[in-house]
Structure 1
């Protein structure tokens, strides 16, 4: 049997992990430490904390362009500002800050909906021992809010507060694939918990299916592994990479290691939204996200009161004097100044047609804080083979999402015999997917409310072809199928719709890497080429979450500080934002 197959079999049995040598850190000898010299796939912050040589001449006055005013760009600017680097400028293609934060208020009401990020895992309580643990990586978002509140002197207009997010409610209606109750009703989550026969059937009941599923769950739902991810996501990521979990897809593992049939492999794979082990392991670490009774514990969730745009808006007083809106970068050139020092030159256009004028400006460094779905439209210099492929169209993979929010004059779902407060229901329509209920203003007499349809992945790509009217009608019909004609009668006609593929400034909802796109690409982001640094949730090991954007901001800011010789400042920033993991043990 081939050595590689023997290795993978050992992995599946989880018995040889301690024998696998770590991959070598990507880097070369330099007169002073740079970020690329540390472990990009793991605890790189330990290397920063251990820096002793600080002989590089400081260039705190270096000019820095930050392209993109999403949360990554905004946070990077303030992190640099906090350690004495003031000569930065944020360049944003749209007319607003916040990027994929997209809170919408319905006119004439206090009702708000999130068309972008909507929740954060806060802590988890395990069933096995009733112990409660904090999600350490998501703590960075709460830390950022505390910092912004402090520097904004707790101004009520800018204050960022968190409220509970209700991921599930016992009275959610689950119509897809389930059986009606004895009296013909769509079963609630509580009904199915009391009588599992009402729940949806597994894709297969064969012994092979059960055996293969158990083996896969042994990798992706192992309690010790999930606890390790929650405690220290960086070392857990390194371990997963060392174990070869980025080297093959879940399908390949089932077919070539567990020797499952095509049918069993397909049944297990298509029941999930994931291809890559690490992504699904991180998803599973947010326990009970899907409400399954088999979850190892229960997660406590939070959201931002009045929406995530409160978080980005809190930056505005501190960036407004160095913020350029409606400036879409079309080209980046690597140049040298009169003294032969490398610099970056950014190009953009103003006007249209015959009145269009090209402009450019030079900077010592550029930090690109927009997804590769946008940089692929830019004319860029030739980067190294790996980084160039990651940026390119065949490289890093992204996913989309669509949301439609409908406003109703009354919250009829809170007034039913089995009232629903928060959580989400599932209509029979697979296309509609999930219907989320508001988590604020609960049980207030006469208050209006909005229900949000949320669908990601391939469905959202297809929804981009719908007109607003078609999409709204589909969602309204699905709500009526669960709640009756009262929903149609109470619909106000007001709606919000956003399919991220149609957003001209992002064209994506989140990053969804393919096989080898962690082990191969992430080290490349830690190397500064053409005085350019790439950040954003797509460059972090966790993706999709707000904390991923902030992780990349810390990494990018520290990477720049080391490049300009500000090692002490890099260490200070590292300690402030990554300190919770420094010297942490597995």
Structure 2
């Protein structure tokens, strides 16, 4: 269902009056549901001199230039072009668009335009392009796509659509946000797009490691994102997790573009988030009858088998209950699931306890507002003390999902599907680390050195616009002194979370044949062995009998992911080999093939971290900055989105960045079409 404005401007084309043929043809080609639109101009024959385009109430032949209600644009162009039509709030229904030559003679007239009720709005102008800002009608804290219907240009002007679509645009980074930006711009008709990728692969943090063979030999693990939440059940109702639907839509789009080629297809299979036979190995305890740790199902039947939870005193328990009530608020959970963008705005505006948006860290809220002691707060929040409640709210919804999906053959098949589309426009090994704005030319210069060439000179290329779709930690901005401090801080100061994963390969899927019952998929096995974190079994090729298979022996984030950096890869891997044998028994040591992979994202030369982790206040402060175009640069990536660490976050930012550029170029029709295709269909209000 499309997002609709409470009060909108509806324009329809009536049957054309029997005017004599005129040299200039004026028309609108899309439904106009706001005060901004593209008017398409076609010249049936040349007209000399400056043309004036107007809108007036009357459409008769006696209507003259002086009778116009307002001027739409002036232009000397005789090529097919567009106007950015900004409709004043007092424009009346039933008028026509007209074109006048330099002598005031009528040379073009549109069909009548009929208005319904118009939402009054203060239209203002801005120098330097179209502003996707709060003042200009763009809701940077929530449903930004609503603002596309309320945009305005810097001045009343004509747009050469062909020239606009021929602008040279660099997309710096071939991760999911960069690829999504490319797709939207490419499908909008931009013809001079270039992707500059620092590594030799597409996908960025989407990284499937194939320990043996290829995708359908089924011995792989996800060293980056792993899964997609689909539905969540709240108050006995099931809701789609709508922002993640963007992933499924993209996969369907790429499958169609690739003619459903099996070698490139992106097909979804269930991801098993939980298994009743997941093991709980704590305090070294194993059941004497099986020699195995108890399963979750056994603990459910006999709670005494569980590791004892620390007893909470009455006041600490009340604090725990209060925080759980906040993070599991059913109304907020439903809103996040059905419209994450609107939920984000509600959180920023209303906040907690009537105190506004991201004012509180969880620690500060408990100590300063709930008057909890430091000890109580430490017990309740632990390592999440400096987290924003917004992070806890959306993560609680996502990880409460009742159904999940993953990609058959690995998530890397999603960026793989882009290769036929982008290979001819992609330069690999272009590790851009310097950006400069050439004021005289109004162009962006990007510079990089060829990988491995210590003494090589920088390679340079200039573009009309650059979409920065790479981790901000990799961009050097000292050549951009004109950038305001806020955007510099937004780029330089947002910390990155650390995560380390270790994948181990085994000769068979022994975990599906344990004496305590088969473990099919899931990350249900837990342990107090330090530094292990989550243990995840594959959700693909269940009960497969051929060839080796792999498990994610360790998924650690936060403090432990940093601690592991002090260990060599061999030491880290051997620790996990030993830990898996301790949990599962000797079968794990016997079945280990010796093949493994460790990925610590802080060590990745192209990413520098696993996902963005803005501190309290940064999220609210910086998001509006990402909606501004500075020195012909637009910034995208999951770090610029409302949520972090998910593929959907990167894709959403790519759509926003593409729409932002389309609006900068005056391509309003294309911007609205992109929003309607990629965003509006998932929003329901």
TM-score by length of 1: 0.88
- Which of 389, 401, 405 aligns to 1:302? It is 405
How far apart, CA to CA, are the structure 1 residues paired with 2:307 and 2:667? 58
Contact 1:79–1:573 under 8 Å retained in 2: yes
User: Could you tell me which residue of structure 2 aligns to residue 321 of structure 1?
Assistant: 424
Between the two proteins, the alignment pairs up a number of residues equal to: 543
Alignment partner of 1:369 out of 445, 466, 469:
469
Whole-Å Cα distance in 1 between the matches of residues 454 and 345 of structure 2? 53
Aligned to 1:400: 498
The whole-number CA distance in structure 2 between the counterparts of 1:381 and 1:552 is: 25
CA separation of 1:351/1:195 partners in 2, compared to 1, >3 Å: closer, same or farther?
Answer: closer
* Cα shift readout 1:326-362 (whole Å, capped 9, x = no counterpart): 011121111134xxx5211111223766751222111
Q: Deviations over 1:18-55 (max 9, x none)?
A: xxxxxxx9x97337753222110111111103458795
1:502 aligns with 2:617: no
- 2:576 aligned with 1:475: yes
Structure 1 residues 436 and 581, CA gap change in structure 2 (3 angstroms): closer
Question: Can you list the C-alpha shifts for 1:492-536, whole angstroms capped at 9, x where unaligned?
Answer: 111111111111000111111110112100000001111111100
C-alpha separation between the residues in 1 aligned to 2:508 and 2:385? 34
| 1:30 maps to 2:30 | no
The offset of 1:445, in angstroms, is 3.0
Q: 1:469 to 1:163 in 2, by over 3 A?
A: same
Q: Which residue of 1 aligns with 2:376?
A: 264
- Whole-Å separation in 1 of the counterparts to 2:590 and 2:546: 15
- The Cα of 1:153 is off from its aligned counterpart by 0.9
Deviates more, 1:197-206 or 1:272-281: 197-206
Taking the TM superposition and a 5 Å limit, the aligned residue runs for 1:171-570 are: 171-176=277-282, 185-242=292-349, 243=351, 244-270=356-382, 272=384, 275-288=387-400, 299-337=402-440, 342-350=442-450, 355-375=455-475, 380-392=480-492, 395-417=493-515, 418-424=517-523, 425-445=525-545, 447-452=547-552, 453-570=554-671
Task: Report which of the two has the higher share of strand.
Answer: 2
Q: Does 1:41 align with 2:147?
A: no
> Residue 403 of structure 1 contacts residue 454 of structure 1 at CA under 8 Å; is this kept in 2?
yes
- Match of 2:508, SS state, is coil
Whole-Å separation in 1 of the counterparts to 2:623 and 2:614: 11
In structure 2, C-alpha distance between the alignment counterparts of 1:353 and 1:117, rounded to whole Å: 32
Q: 8 Å contact 1:367–1:532 — kept in the other structure? A: yes
Structure 1: how far apart are the matches of 2:272 and 2:262?
A: 25
Distance between the aligned counterparts of 2:303 and 2:480, measured in 1? Answer: 56
Q: Which is higher, the Rg of structure 1 or of structure 2?
A: 2
Q: Deviations over 1:81-120 (max 9, x none)?
A: 1011121100011111111111121234541211111100
Distance 1:215 1:380, change over 3 A: same
CA distance in 2, matches of 1:220, 1:354: 51
In the aligned structure 1, how far is the partner of 2:576 from the partner of 2:438? 52
CA gap of 1:355–1:265, structure 2 versus 1, over 3 A, is closer
Q: CA deviation at 1:489?
A: 1.1
Q: TM-score scaled to structure 2, two decimals?
A: 0.76
What is the Cα deviation at residue 378 of structure 1? Answer: 7.5
Gap change, CA 1:86 and 1:271, over 3 Å in 2: same
Q: Secondary structure at the match of 2:597?
A: strand
- Taking a change above 3 Å as real, the CA distance of residues 62 and 160 of structure 1, as seen in their structure-2 partners, is same
Cα drift, residue 414 of structure 1: 0.8
RMSD: 2.3
Q: For the residues of structure 2 that align with 1:376 and 1:209, how far apart are their CA atoms?
A: 47
Q: How does 1:122-137 map to 2 (within 5 A)?
A: 122-126=230-234, 128-129=235-236, 131-137=237-243
Q: Is the 8 A contact 1:269 1:275 kept in 2?
A: no
Q: Is 1:135–1:231's contact at 8 Å kept on the other side of the alignment?
A: yes
Q: Gaps spanning 5+ residues in structure 2: where? A: 1-120
Partner of 1:67: 172
Q: Is 1:148 aligned to 2:254, yes or no? A: yes
**In structure 2, do the counterparts of structure 1 residues 472 and 354 end up closer, same or farther at CA, with 3 Å as the change threshold?**
closer
2:324 and 2:578 map into 1 onto residues whose CA distance is: 36
Partners of 2:158 and 2:376 in 1: CA distance: 58
Q: CA deviation at 1:432?
A: 0.7
Give 1:422 shift: 0.9
Residue-by-residue CA offset, 1:300-335 (whole Å, 9 max, x unaligned): 010011111110011111111111100111211111
